[in-house]
Amino acid sequence: MGALRNRFGGSQKELSVARGSGHQARVTDFRLDVLAIGDAIVDVIATADDAFLQEEGLPKGSMRLIDAAEATRLYSHMGQARETSGGSAANTMAGIAALGGRAGFVGQVARDQLGEIFAHDIRALGVEFTTPPCDTDEPTGRCLILVTPDGQRTMNTSPGASHSLSVSALDEQQIRDSAILYLEAYLWVPDSPRAAMERAIEIAHAAGRRVAFTLSDIACIAKRRDSFLDLIQARAIDMLFANEAEVKALAGIDAFDPALAALQDKVPLIVCTCSERGAVAVENGRRVAVPAAPVERVVDTTGAGDLFAAGFLSGQALERPLEECLRRGAIAAAEIISHFGARPEADLKALMA
């Protein structure tokens, strides 16, 4: 922990001094509202029945990592599919852009067809994406998503080139130009992209910017729990996104409220989704909760947490009250689970209005 404290400024007092006047500037003073670093993945989404999952030996609702060969094999067995730029943080940036926000994304693709699809798609959505493709033997990452009639998604992810992201891929001025730096835990697990994210945190905090971190998946906590706790202890995170299971796993406490209480004094703002029960946030000891937004029918839960973060962060960029930020997140999540895929189909700006 000592090395980490030195890396991120040593103490809360030192961090406050390092951030200086950045927290005083309005979000509108920045070129980008939010810049995310995450997996650059092409989502390949297809419908499937329970029998197909059983034949393939896939537990419904699971998320597993696969290599390129298994991705090719499974893809050949899938039905007609839709391909879009994906990845958790990329989904969130697409949501912010759909809400009229100024979003940027940093992620690694290869020089291949899927890499071109990812870059074209995310730019077409209005997200700034300038990370150059890399020369690697690994193909651009893909996530094969099988959606059953009950709306559950079974995810099979081949990270590929996304885990080749390095410090050299960062545009330091782009980080300084962004009010909030948003990081996903999926990319914190491998060494090279974790080093890039650590450097990005240093740059952001030195420039007085806020750093948001999403725990992404309970499997990430199992692999890097101590590292996440070190980040929190070093006051490197200003805003933490999680769901109930992730909060309990990170705190090491089986009950949600005690787990949240154990973490809330260590992070200025914790935001937690609670499925059909809505969401809760604790900011500097003040707790606020909102119910889930109504949805006629749950079709596909892919990207629900990602779009919740988009709605919440867009509210932060507009300097809205905490309760309104939560409601914006709930509305965005409700829209995304009403149809297939993790890209909004309705006018999110109209829904927010």
We report the CATH number of the domain holding residue 333 as 3.40.1190.20
On whether residue 61 sits in a domain, the answer given is: no
Q: Please state the φ and ψ torsions of residue 152, each to the nearest 5 degrees.
A: -75, 145
Half-sphere exposure of 318 (CA within 13 A, CB side): 19
On whether residue 237 sits in a domain, the answer given is: yes
On whether residue 82 sits in a domain, the answer given is: no
Angstrom CA distances, 312 to 6, 138, 271, 301, stand at: 31, 34, 9, 18
pLDDT in single tens digits along all 353 residues of the chain? 444 544 444 433 333 333 333 333 445 578 999 999 999 999 898 999 999 999 999 999 888 889 989 998 999 999 998 888 888 999 999 999 999 999 999 999 999 999 999 999 999 999 999 999 998 889 999 999 998 988 788 989 999 999 999 999 999 999 999 999 999 999 998 999 999 999 999 999 999 999 999 998 888 898 899 999 999 999 999 999 999 999 999 999 999 999 999 999 999 999 999 988 999 999 999 999 999 888 877 776 767 889 999 999 999 999 999 999 999 999 998 888 877 666 777 778 888 88
Q: Fill in the amino acid letter for 230.
A: D
CA–CA separation, 344 vs 349, rounded Å?
11
Angle between helices 12-19 and 191-206 (to 10 degrees): 70
User: Which among 35, 40, 43 has a CA at the least distance from the CA of 343?
Assistant: 43
- 319 burial class (0-12, 13-18, 19+ CB within 10 angstroms)? exposed
| Positive or negative torsion for Cα 121, 127, 128, 130 | negative
Predicted TM-score (pTM) of this structure: 0.86
CB atoms within 10 A of CB 83: 14
On whether residue 252 sits in a domain, the answer given is: yes
Place of tokens 């958790």: 88
On whether residue 125 sits in a domain, the answer given is: yes
For 299, the enclosing helix (H) or strand (E) is: none
On whether residue 150 sits in a domain, the answer given is: no
On whether residue 146 sits in a domain, the answer given is: no
Q: Residue 215: give the domain boundaries.
A: 32-40+87-138+160-348
Look at the chain and report how many structural domains it folds into. 1
On whether residue 76 sits in a domain, the answer given is: no
Angstrom CA distances, 352 to 17, 174, 305, 321, stand at: 36, 28, 17, 14
